[in-house]
Each structure stands twice: as structure tokens, then as C-alpha cells.
Chains A and B, each alone.
Chain A
């Protein structure tokens, strides 16, 4: 099984900050990495698929990068509606989610 390790698990930031969330796979996942945002009481929302492809309707302040085992989600300028929990997800070999990063207001 491929394990996905997200860091940090908790991130405190302010509106306007540049934020990065990391995800490390236990083996090469060939850029088959998605990012989801989940707000309290809601279903997750797809932000980015296959490392760096922005899902339709997602603001351009969200971006993704990475290769091999290491991947990053970047929010260039944090907005109030961006607070929530972020999950990475690999679909190179079966499907595995990371444990999540809670992004909270500092």
C-alpha cells in the first residue's frame, strides 16, 4: 500500500499569507496526486488533479507542484473562505488519502 504523509497537520495563517501544504508518498506516484478542500460539515471539493491541473471554477491562487514522492499545494494569498481542511490523494496504485492539514485563522 502507498502511504501518504501530509505536513503540517495544523497550520495557522492570516488572510493574505502565502501558504504551502506538503504531501509525501511512500513511493513514486508519477504525479497522480489530487488535492481536496473540506469545510466543516461539507463534502470535500476537488481543487487540483494530477499534481498541477486546476479544477474548473477553482481560483488561480491555488496551485500544485511536485513529482516522484513529494508534492505541494500552495495558496498564494489566503482568503477568508480558504480556511478548512486539505487532503492529498494518490491514484497511482489503488487510492489513498493523506490524513489532512487543518488550516486555521491565526
Chain B
């Protein structure tokens, strides 16, 4: 079955770069139609899509954060990565990675989620 798990620094200082890893099993990011997305949620608030990476290497970033985000993957090790540059307190949130698949013309977004990793930006 599909499982995902996020890992990250827990706490980091303003202006630094946040690096997150999503380790997954049950699918391969080299298989047609597979994708991994990053979504975040400040405590007690709503969800915000950040970025997605697909089996073919295509990446898509939220336009409101575009220049600060880099998403990548390591297919051999079943991992996806997100970097967020120049963080500030507004980036404090739980960060999730989620599986997306595109099969037979239908895209099913975020059908499996990781447990989330909490990230605090504080000096």
C-alpha cells in the first residue's frame, strides 16, 4: 500500500532555507502518472498547496511562492524534496506530502497523505 512520511528540521531561523524530505513506498516516481505534492497548514488554519513533481520530472509551484520553492526527487531512493528559501514566521506550519496519480485521463489529487511534519520558524 502507499505510505508517505515527511521529515525536516523542526525549527529554523528566519531567512534560512527550509529543507524537507518525503520518503514514500508503494509507488515509484518513475512510473507514468505518479506525482508527489507538498501542502502546508498553519496551526488551526486552512490548507495551502505549495508544489508538485511528476514522474516525468515536470514541476509546478504555487505562483504566490514560486521563486522561493524548489521541488525535486530521487527516484532510486523513493524520495521527494522541497526547499523553501528565505523563511519567516509566516512559514511556520505543518508540512504534508501527498500522492497524486493520473491514470486513464483522470487525475486523483492527494489520495494518500503523510502524517505531516511541524516546522517552526523562530529566532
A contacts, CB < 8 Å to B: 1, 34, 36, 43-46, 49-50, 55, 87, 89, 91, 94-100
The interface residues of chain B lying within 8 Å CB-to-CB of A1 are: 63-64
B62 cross-chain contacts in A, Cβ below 8 A: 94-95
By a CB distance below 8 angstroms, the chain B residues around A97 are 46-49
Across the interface, do A49 and B109 meet the contact criterion of CB distance under 8 Å?
yes
Inside 8 A of A34's CB, which chain B residues have their CB?
109-110
**Which B residues fall within an 8 A CB radius of A?**
37, 46-49, 52, 60, 62-64, 96, 98, 106-111, 113-116
Across the interface, A46 reaches (CB within 8 A) one of B37, B106, B110, namely B110
* B96 and A91 contact, CB distance less than 8 A: no
User: Which partner residue on chain B sits nearest A85 by CB separation?
Assistant: B46
21 A-B contacts, Cβ less than 8 Å apart? A34-B109, A36-B110, A43-B96, A43-B115, A46-B109, A49-B108, A49-B109, A50-B106, A55-B111, A87-B47, A89-B47, A89-B109, A91-B107, A94-B62, A95-B49, A97-B46, A97-B47, A98-B46, A99-B46, A100-B46, A100-B47
CA gap between A49 and B60 in the complex, in Å:
20
Contact B49 A44 (CB under 8 A): no
6 tightest Cβ-Cβ pairs between the two chains A and B: A43-B113, A95-B49, A97-B47, A99-B46, A46-B111, A49-B108
How far, in angstroms, from A89 to B48 measured CA to CA in the complex?
A: 10
The residue on A at minimum CB distance from B110 is A46
Residues of B contacting A91 with CB < 8 Å?
A: 107, 109
